[in-house]
Amino acid sequence: MTIAPARRVAFEVVRRVFEDDAYADRVFANVSTELDERDRALAQRIAYGTVQRARTIDHGIEELGGRALRKLDPPVRAALRISGFQFAWSEAPAHAVADDAVELVRAAGLERATKFTNAVVRRLADGFQELVASLPEGALKESYPDWVFDVWVRDWGFEEALELARAQNAPPPLDDYRGVSRGSRLAAEAVAARPGERVLDACAAPGNKTMLLVGDVTAVEVNETRARLLAERVPANVRVVNADVRELAERSFDRALVDAPCSGLGVLNRRPDLRWRARPLPDLQLELLRAAADRLRPGGTVVYSVCTINADENEDVVDACGLDIVPLGEEWPEFAHPKRPEFLLTTPHRHATSGFFVARLAK
């Protein structure tokens, strides 16, 4: 029996993500090259949706399948996972989904597991959608680690946390797929450099914000490969330096941008596996912010931005840095932080864009 090409690709992506700790977008780009446009879109929806919804799906497999997930062969797990996603969040015909699940397991060399796969996938077809609907609202139903949902409840209350969780399970806006969301552009605009000013981009790669900066830009990137790739695409006003900004010898910059590494809790809808690997990084963020500020001239300004929605990595880092806050809310009132209007905060559920925190500070 022929397996639908989109399901075959989604199956491969899901296996690589959960068995090899691979990044979903990179695997998908490599294994989907022979698909036509329609099948590619379908495969991406199944693969990314399955990775995002894995916690909920796994709960359903264990509840309806009667066996611990860890005891299943990896190909069986992957086939049941993509099937669960399609049963609950697509209009795919149940018989086609079930047939392909069995064939995927058979093609993986596990003929002995096909009967079990067939039995469980049909239980999922009959009962998984109803099981999902019956779950209490929260982290399990929306498929997030408890700590992520708990952070949002702490910072925003339960109802808004739920809105945020739902928004980040939906496909991202087109501009977010291109890597230049409104929040991302805000960070670059807030630097407010003028022609001729010396600008430090402290954590430059992949360079989407670097490209938007005005002035004589020194783009610092600690990773050698990423620095090389960045140097191949920057405009003439940008000089790329492969270094750690904490060790950079240059000083007296007029402006700086610290687009710091973070947990990424504002971009979970376009990075489907990130919710399962995300970690807050407030100590590193504070070090990078202070390092950039130390390299400013007196009176210079630094913009701190992160693509996360987590007070520990947002306002708490700024409050700890000891720099003077230069308010931004009056310049961009539609994006003013609802609790701290001197900062900016874009969110997927309020602004239909990636979640970004932006602060401007003066030395």
In tens, the pLDDT along 36-89 reads 999 999 999 999 999 999 999 999 999 999 999 999 999 999 999 999 999 999
Same domain for 22 and 79: yes
CB of 348 within 8 A of CB of 177?
no
Structural domain total, the chain: 2
pLDDT for 106 equals 97
Boundary residue ending a domain (76, 111, 135): 135
334 pLDDT more than 70: yes
Q: For residue 146, tell me if it sits in a domain.
A: no
One domain for residues 202 and 350: yes
User: Can you tell me whether residue 216 is helix, strand or coil?
Assistant: strand
- For 53, 116, 128, 145, the CA distances from 56, given in Å and listed in that order, are 6, 20, 10, 11
In terms of domains, do 196 and 341 share one?
yes
Q: What is the pTM of this model?
A: 0.93
In a domain, 252, yes or no: yes
Does 222 share its domain with 308? yes
Check which CATH number belongs to the domain holding 289 and give it: 3.40.50.150
Where among 135, 164, 188 does a domain terminate? 135
For residues 232 and 313, membership in a common domain is answered with: yes
255 plus 343 within the same structural domain:
yes
Residue spans of alpha helices (H) in the chain:
5-20, 24-31, 37-52, 54-65, 74-89, 94-107, 114-134, 139-142, 146-156, 158-167, 174-177, 182-191, 224-231, 274-277, 282-294, 315-321, 348-351
199 and 347, same domain (yes or no): yes
Report if residue 166 sits inside a domain. Answer: no
DSSP single-letter state for residue 172: P
- β-pair partners for 339: none
Same domain assignment for residues 204 and 95? no
Residue 116 in this model has a pLDDT that exceeds 90:
yes
| Residue range(s) defining the domain that contains residue 119 | 5-135
Clarify whether residues 53 and 191 are in a common domain: no
pLDDT tens-digit series, residues 219-273: 999 999 999 999 999 999 999 999 999 999 999 999 999 999 999 999 999 899 9
Residue 202's nearest CA partner among 223, 182, 218 is: 218
Name the residues annotated as catalytic: 307
In angstroms, how far is the first alpha carbon of the chain from the final one? 67
Q: In percent, how much of the chain has pLDDT > 70?
A: 98
- Tell me the C-alpha distance between 272 and 120, whole Å: 25
Say yes or no to pLDDT of 323 above 70: yes
